Amino acid sequence: MPIIEIDGKPIDVAPGTTIMEAAQALGIYIPFFCYHPKLSVAANCRMCLVDVEKAPKPLPACATPVADGMKVSTASRKAKMAQQGVLEFLLINHPLDCPICDQGGECPLQDITMGFANPHSQYTEEKRVVEDKDIGPLIATEMTRCIQCTRCVRFGQEIGGIMELGATGRGERMAIGTYVAQAVRSELSGNMIDLCPVGALTSKPFRFTARNWELKHTPGICPHCSTGCHIDIQSRGREVMRVLPRPAEAVNEEWICDKGRFAYAGLAADDRVTQPLLRVDGEWREVSWAEALDATVGGIEHLLREHGAQQLGGLISARASVEELFLFQGLLRGIGSPHVDHRLTQQDFRADAAMPLYPALNMALEDLEREPVILLCHGFPRNEQPLTNHRLRKAVLAGGQIFVLAEQQRDFNYPVTQIVAGAGADVALYERLCRYLEQPEAIAELQGDTVLVRAAQALRAADNPVILVGSGALRHPRAAELLYWIGQVAALAGGRLSWLGEGANSAGAWIAGCIPHRLPGGAASPQQGLPAGAMWASGLKGYVLMDCEPTLDCWDGAAAEHALCAAELVISIGCFSREAQRYAHVILPAVAFGEGAGRYINNEGREQPFRAAVRAAGEARPGWKILRVLGHSLGVEDFAFMELEEVTRAWQRAVGEFPLDVTPLAPFPHCASGAHTAAPLLRMGEWPLYRSDPLVRRSAPLAQQAVARLHPEQAAALQLHPGVVEITTATGKALLPLVLDRKIPMGAVWVPMGFPETRDLGPAMGPCAIASAPTVAAAALAAV
Amino acid sequence: MLSEQALTEIARERAKYPEDRAQSALLAALRIAQEDQGFLATEVMDYVAHLLGIEPIRAYEVATFYSMYDLQPVGRHKICVCGSVSCFLRGSDQILAHLEEQLGIKVGETTPDGLFTLREVECLGACLGAPMMQVGDRYYENLTKDRVDSILAALREGGDDVG
Ligand code: SF4
Ligand code: SF4
Ligand code: FES
Ligand code: FES
């Protein structure tokens, strides 16, 4: 082990360590711009020059490996002159416009200049000016400030997985940009803002709204997917100003995705409810809490008297905290209704009894990086769990192999082997895979299925491969059949099942018993309730909704709307009113993102508490308090909680220790094959990245357009041209711009969920018809 | 987008490098594409990137770095005057000014008749004969204003390689 000395302090480090790393281990600060521990070494800013004994010239600490006996000085005259020289050169072309720069106050260039520069510049000539680029609604550019450290470029290439920014031109004319005008598309793009050491890349939504020293920092947990990234909620007064990642090596390293970063902008939506709303004779009225609670409790009591508790159902989102989920099911069950669920996007519940305690990754996120062979079953984590996807990407870069079985091709940002069969035929993929796993000797004779055979061979050769059940598998209209086959694949391949949870607290929702067949802790419910989909089909008389918009969040928005509009009583507890006003009778304002406390359980089973960053808006109340009052007023036992901690403790008592590794409670049943829709054209729907929950849907910078996608050959066969098309299903119509996309299988049209425009179309997967839009309607759409 | 011959040549260049090092063939592939198409339009660079299976921005980076790649259509003769140290000390700026005057265009422009494009480039490795310029594939060294005039006249008369 080389022993070196930095500023007179000796240290014993592993061979290959750089001077920078050794200095950091010693707590000695060496200024730097381009160096970043998660990125490759570029050594192009030269800020880290240090004086190494016997070396004729100063050496870059970030790129110089230590050698035994090396004596380094970071503050000798030679080192100081190098630092001053580099800064003087860097500032030659820097505009020094700190007063109007958003980076001011959190800018390494500012800080390092203050700490290390010669206060006098000899430069009197003209400065160069670089044209700003429009790279989309999230990142503002001020390219004259760029110091060409290439951190942003390396991030795209090495972490984001799509290289979009580059350094074009040479010497004095070198500039960072996309060359052709285009928006960056990486779902991790916001991290470049954090990485940029100057004000060249700043956050567009946050721009010019606050100085960093005015902001209060509150540690939080991202509510948008099951990764559970650690975030830093920065607020001023009562307003959340921005969200940044908080370093957590085991969870999100130091990144977050753009959904987690910019969804907060949805808090400014004009339909945020801050006062209880009551529908009186068809009119919405703002009322006091007392009045709203009277109406709610009275309404529920009336319903219980008239129709019995079996006519009341409760649906809650997987973004609710463990405490809220626990109280929610306690409330419903306490007044006698077994119908409680959180799995809004699911449709097929035939495998419920066999499901494990909760959808668990069954390993640490960090372990995922080291898996050599993974079979991903129906999922697209790049959209659904962006930072879990980042771990999968690392697994591939480290030489791992990922096979994906799915109903359509997708844009993975790392090489994977995609094996697709259009909707309806995709279940059979698993069946065939099982055959190849079972009879390896027969493989040679099989024709035409080479990729699947290759997957089978890789799975057999691997020791305990990971069979990763994606969120798309549970959402599948024939999920139970898929699960049966996935179970078979795992058994035949000697692999282990691992699950990608969908919501931030999917794990918590299962464990807390917000499912119709199990109580908190997983014990079977004595009274089996209706799962989400069946609650619509049965047309209950009353519904309690918490933090969800069933018309947009559910597998079949049209059925949800129909059932809700027909019900006698719909209580909506949430933050927004636009959708709720279509069907609810009472809207109780709950606290929104950043305003509440509680805990989530992420995909790994990691319990992550969070607290409020800002005060609740207006009259909004924490969800757990609303539920407590309702429970108490309706005479539910043990609901007299005063503090959140009491709820947490009650939950802990009810659940006990929950395992981090789970297995199915029983083998998945072999279900009869669901009627395969033999429609000439199938609507295939999924929730796009930024349409997956009420808050992100309202975030203006994350706005996404609803479009229909067709394979070009399918479009040609139907004689459709890009333009506006009309999609028709049994329940409704939608007018959407048509986009041609080779990733969509023949016989299907991709139509997104989560948009008011497509709400009336009904099930995410089902028969539909498509035609060029009537001209009048198309013109109307174009005018919007 | 490219001729059969260009595609074959690019494939040959590509084959020289290992499977995961497609980028190594980029310089050659861009040169071949430029010879084939006259200059590198964005679509041509996109296509070359697509052929090599790399992101288009990689092609843009390389093509904008080297002055030998033309991102815009150029005239029949591309005159590249070296402006680096040795040539500068020997009066390259006067040669450049003279060329601008004779051709009636500024550096970077093309004459209206499409005959000449004028460029200033970095050292072309012929410092011994400074000041110098490159026209097409040929170097012209120890330039004086008179010599420039005679070269221009010969080029105007239809020569491609005049000396
Ligand atoms: S934009 Fe920022 S991160 Fe990118 S090269 Fe310039 S200074 Fe570095
Ligand atoms: S990956 Fe998931 S948890 Fe992390 S920031 Fe994105 S949405 Fe939030
Ligand atoms: S930090 Fe070492 S050269 Fe930039
Ligand atoms: S300086 Fe002109 S050729 Fe080298």
Strands A724-728, A708-710: pairing kind? unpaired
Domain boundary among A475, A499, A523: A499
Find out whether the beta carbon of B24 lies less than 6 Å from any atom of ligand 4: no
Give ligand 2 pocket residues (Cβ under 6 A). A 222, 224-225, 227-229, 252, 256-257, 259-260, 385-387
B58 closest CB neighbour out of A163, A170, A180: A163
- Work out the percent of chain A whose per-residue pLDDT is above 70: 97
- Work out the percent of chain A whose per-residue pLDDT is above 90: 89
**φ, ψ at A692 (rounded to 5°):** -90, -10
Indicate the DSSP class of residue A746. Answer: T
Can you give the pLDDT at residue A708? 96
CB-CB neighbors (< 8 A) of A170 in chain B: 64-67
Q: Are A376 and A404 in contact (CB under 8 A)?
A: yes
Mean pLDDT of A532-557: 96
Q: How far apart are CA A627 and CA A334, in angstroms?
A: 12
A305 touches chain B (CB under 8 A): no
Indicate the DSSP class of residue A576. Answer: B
Q: How far apart are CA B108 and CA B106, in angstroms?
A: 6
Q: How far apart are CA A593 and CA A221, in angstroms?
A: 10
Find out whether the beta carbon of B124 lies less than 6 Å from any atom of ligand 4: yes
A183 touches chain B (CB under 8 A): no
pLDDT digits 0-9 by tens, A119-138: 888 899 899 999 999 999 99
Contact B55 A167 (CB under 8 A): no
pLDDT digits 0-9 by tens, A178-198: 888 888 899 999 999 999 999
Q: Give, in words, the CATH class of B4-65.
A: mainly alpha
Residue in the structure block whose two tokens are 């062979």: A373
Tell me, in angstroms, the distance from the centre of ligand 2 to residue A231's CA.
9
Q: Are B130 and B86 in contact (CB under 8 A)?
A: yes
Closest CA to B55 of B88, B33, B22: B22
A165 touches chain B (CB under 8 A): yes
Tell me, in angstroms, the distance from the centre of ligand 1 to residue A137's CA.
18
A462 and A321 in a common domain:
no
Helix, strand or coil for residue A545?
A: strand
A180 CB burial (10 A radius; 0-12, 13-18, 19+): exposed
Contact B55 A169 (CB under 8 A): no
In a domain, A149, yes or no: no
A515 and A639 in a common domain:
yes
Q: Which ligand 2 atom is at minimum distance from the Cα of A390?
A: 1
Largest CA distance in chain A: 92
A718 and A581 in a common domain:
no
Closest CA to A459 of A480, A424, A488, A482: A488
pLDDT digits 0-9 by tens, A372-401: 999 999 999 999 999 999 999 999 999 999
Tell me, in angstroms, the distance from the centre of ligand 2 to residue A243's CA.
11
CB-CB neighbors (< 8 A) of A135 in chain B: none
Is the per-residue pLDDT at A628 higher than 80? yes
Q: How far apart are CA A118 and CA A81, in angstroms?
A: 9
Contact A168 B64 (CB under 8 A): yes
Find out whether the beta carbon of A48 lies less than 6 Å from any atom of ligand 3: yes
Min CA distance, A735 vs chain B (Å)? 33
CB-CB neighbors (< 8 A) of B42 in chain A: 179-180
Range list of β-strands (E), chain B: 77-82, 116-121, 133-135, 138-140
Is the per-residue pLDDT at A440 higher than 90? no
pLDDT digits 0-9 by tens, A61-119: 999 999 999 999 999 999 999 999 999 999 999 999 999 999 999 999 999 999 999 98
Tell me, in angstroms, the distance from the centre of ligand 4 to residue B24's CA.
27
Q: Are A232 and A244 in contact (CB under 8 A)?
A: yes
A44 touches chain B (CB under 8 A): no
Domain ranges of chain B: 4-65, 77-157
A525 and A638 in a common domain:
yes
Is residue A329 very low, low, confident or very high in pLDDT (cuts 50, 70, 90)?
A: very high
The residues facing A610 across adjacent strands are A598
In a domain, A401, yes or no: yes
Is the per-residue pLDDT at A50 higher than 70? yes
A719 and A586 in a common domain:
no
User: Which pair of tokens denotes residue A645?
Assistant: 């901690």
Min CA distance, B152 vs chain A (Å)? 29
A221 CB burial (10 A radius; 0-12, 13-18, 19+): buried
Contact B65 A170 (CB under 8 A): yes
Q: How far apart are CA A756 and CA A228, in angstroms?
A: 28
Tell me, in angstroms, the distance from the centre of ligand 2 to residue A255's CA.
9
Is the per-residue pLDDT at A204 higher than 80? yes
Tell me, in angstroms, the distance from the centre of ligand 2 to residue B155's CA.
64
Is the per-residue pLDDT at A155 higher than 60? yes
Tell me, in angstroms, the distance from the centre of ligand 3 to residue A194's CA.
17
A42 touches chain B (CB under 8 A): no
Is the per-residue pLDDT at A783 higher than 60? no
Q: Convert B106-132 to b/e letters by CB count within 10 Å (16 or more is b).
A: eeebbeeeeebbbbbbeebebbebbbb
Helix, strand or coil for residue A87?
A: helix
The residues facing A581 across adjacent strands are none
Can you give the pLDDT at residue A179? 85
User: Which pair of tokens denotes residue A549?
Assistant: 């918009």
CA-closest residue to ligand 2 atom 2? A225
B81, B89, B123: which to mutate for ligand 4, most atoms within 8 A of CB?
B123
CB-CB neighbors (< 8 A) of A178 in chain B: 57
Q: How far apart are CA B46 and CA A674, in angstroms?
A: 46
A525 and A642 in a common domain:
yes
Tell me, in angstroms, the distance from the centre of ligand 1 to residue A194's CA.
10
Min CA distance, B159 vs chain A (Å)? 33
Contact B42 A167 (CB under 8 A): no
Is the per-residue pLDDT at A776 higher than 60? no
pLDDT digits 0-9 by tens, A332-373: 999 999 999 999 999 999 999 999 999 999 999 999 999 999
Q: Domain with A527 in it: what CATH number?
A: 3.40.50.740
Domain boundary among A499, A533, A560: A499
Mean pLDDT of A574-598: 97
The residues facing A621 across adjacent strands are A590
B5 CB burial (10 A radius; 0-12, 13-18, 19+): exposed
A568 and A597 in a common domain:
yes
Q: How far apart are CA B33 and CA A484, in angstroms?
A: 53
A586 and A638 in a common domain:
yes
Q: Which ligand 2 atom is at minimum distance from the Cα of A261?
A: 5
Q: How far apart are CA A778 and CA A2, in angstroms?
A: 72
A vs B, Cβ pairs < 8 A, gives: 33
In a domain, A476, yes or no: yes
B131 preceded by cis ω (within 30°)? Answer: yes
Min CA distance, B63 vs chain A (Å)? 8
Q: Which ligand 1 atom is at minimum distance from the Cα of A155?
A: 3
A44, A201, A202, A203: which to mutate for ligand 1, most atoms within 8 A of CB?
A201
DSSP string, A448-503: S-HHHHHHHHHHHHSSS-EEEE-HHHHHSTTHHHHHHHHHHHHHHHT-EEEE--SS
Largest CA distance in chain B: 53
Min CA distance, B59 vs chain A (Å)? 10
Closest CA to B108 of B120, B98, B97: B120
Q: How far apart are CA A696 and CA A694, in angstroms?
A: 6
Find out whether the beta carbon of B81 lies less than 6 Å from any atom of ligand 4: no
pLDDT digits 0-9 by tens, A522-539: 999 999 999 999 999 999
Predicted complex ipTM: 0.82
**φ, ψ at A721 (rounded to 5°):** -125, 155
Q: How far apart are CA A488 and CA A496, in angstroms?
A: 11
Q: How far apart are CA B96 and CA B148, in angstroms?
A: 10
- One pLDDT digit (tens) per residue for chain B, 163 residues: 899 999 999 999 999 999 889 999 999 999 999 999 999 999 999 999 999 999 999 999 999 999 889 999 999 999 999 999 999 999 999 999 999 999 999 999 999 999 999 999 989 999 999 999 999 889 999 999 999 999 999 999 877 666 5
A74 and A16 in a common domain:
yes
Find out whether the beta carbon of B80 lies less than 6 Å from any atom of ligand 4: no
Q: What is the dihedral of CA A747, A750, A754, A759, to 10 degrees?
A: -50
Q: How far apart are CA B35 and CA B5, in angstroms?
A: 11
B80 is in an annotated binding site: no
The number of the ligand nearest the C-alpha atom of B128 reads 4
Looking at A442-451, A611-620, A636-645, B28-37, which range is the least confident one?
A442-451
User: Which residues are CB-contacts of A458 (< 8 A; sequence separation ≥ 6)?
Assistant: A373, A401, A403, A465
A700 and A566 in a common domain:
no
The number of the ligand nearest the C-alpha atom of A34 reads 3
Min CA distance, A165 vs chain B (Å)? 7
Can you give the pLDDT at residue A484? 97
The residues facing A587 across adjacent strands are A277, A572
In a domain, A738, yes or no: yes
Residue in the structure block whose two tokens are 């996109």: B46
Contact A178 B42 (CB under 8 A): no
Is the per-residue pLDDT at A442 higher than 90? no
pLDDT digits 0-9 by tens, A755-768: 999 999 999 999 99
Contact A180 B42 (CB under 8 A): yes
Is the per-residue pLDDT at A784 higher than 60? no
Would you give the distance in Å from CA A326 to the centre of its chain? 24
Indicate the DSSP class of residue B23. Answer: G
Can you give the pLDDT at residue A780? 60
Range list of β-strands (E), A24-100: 49-52, 59-60, 71-73
- HSE at residue A680, side-chain half, CA atoms within 13 A, is 7
Contact A170 B64 (CB under 8 A): yes
Say how many residues make up chain A: 784
Domain boundary among A611, A638, A655: A655
Question: How many domains does chain A contain in total?
Answer: 4
Contact A162 B55 (CB under 8 A): yes
Domain extent at residue A40: 1-93
A578 and A482 in a common domain:
no
Fold of B77-157: Glutaredoxin (3.40.30)
Find out whether the beta carbon of A82 lies less than 6 Å from any atom of ligand 3: no
Mean pLDDT of A649-667: 94
Is residue A778 very low, low, confident or very high in pLDDT (cuts 50, 70, 90)?
A: low
Indicate the DSSP class of residue A691. Answer: G
Min CA distance, A135 vs chain B (Å)? 14
Q: How far apart are CA B61 and CA B52, in angstroms?
A: 15
CA B129-B131-B134 angle, 5° bins: 85
Is the per-residue pLDDT at A46 higher than 90? yes
Find out whether the beta carbon of A151 lies less than 6 Å from any atom of ligand 1: yes
Mean pLDDT of A427-445: 82
CA distances from A761 to A31, A408, A581, A748 (A): 58, 20, 20, 15
Q: Are A345 and A687 in contact (CB under 8 A)?
A: yes
In a domain, A192, yes or no: no
A722 and A701 in a common domain:
yes
Tell me, in angstroms, the distance from the centre of ligand 2 to residue A264's CA.
13
pLDDT digits 0-9 by tens, A475-498: 999 999 999 999 999 999 999 999
Q: How far apart are CA A485 and CA A489, in angstroms?
A: 6
